[in-house]
Amino acid sequence: MKSPSARKLRVVVAKPGLDGHDRGAKIIARALRDAGMEVIYTGLHQTPEQIVETVIQEDADAVGLSILSGAHMTLVPRIVALLREQGVDDVIVTVGGTIPGNDIPELERLGVAAVFTPGAPLRDIIDFLLRSVGDRTPA
């Protein structure tokens, strides 16, 4: 079992699909890094398979998926399912981007821990990760 207090939080920031809007992902990656986390940014145009592989290889505590192309209802379920197939059940999955409000309950039902839409303060995202990774593992 991982002990978040013993090491830096490891977060994969990923850009699934063909969407090239990487402003948000890069800002988040930098903010998490500045907050003392170990950040692995995948770069653009990643397949769900590639993202899941990165999460496993990097032994990540959390993965943030940035999607602004409207393809979230195809990509996110696929990534969540692949993680399950690979037996990964302790990684916090978050989604950020242009996500209409009425898609959020379905994403949460699939196991997404939080959805951050445009305007979400960086501090909230950082705090959320610290809290939820902490909650996940008994102290």
**Using an 8 Å Cβ cutoff, are 64 and 28 in contact?**
yes
Residue 87 burial (CB < 10 Å; 0-12/13-18/19+)? exposed
Residue among 117, 127, 131, 135 that touches another protein (CB under 8 A): 117
46: left (phi over 0), alpha (psi -120 to 50) or beta: beta
Q: Looking at beta carbons only, is 36 or 118 nearer to another protein?
A: 118
Q: Does 69 bind another protein (CB under 8 A)?
A: yes
* Amino acid (1-letter code) at residue 92: I
CB of 125 to another protein, least distance (A): 10
Short-list 7, 19, 113, 32, CA closest to 66: 19
Segment lying near another protein (by CB under 8 A), choices 3-11, 54-62, 87-95, 119-127: 119-127
Token pair belonging to 84? 């399950």
Q: Does 10 bind another protein (CB under 8 A)?
A: no
Q: Does 20 bind another protein (CB under 8 A)?
A: yes
Q: Does 101 bind another protein (CB under 8 A)?
A: yes
Q: Looking at beta carbons only, is 70 or 134 nearer to another protein?
A: 70
Q: Does 45 bind another protein (CB under 8 A)?
A: yes
Q: Does 22 bind another protein (CB under 8 A)?
A: yes
Three-state secondary structure call for residue 4: coil
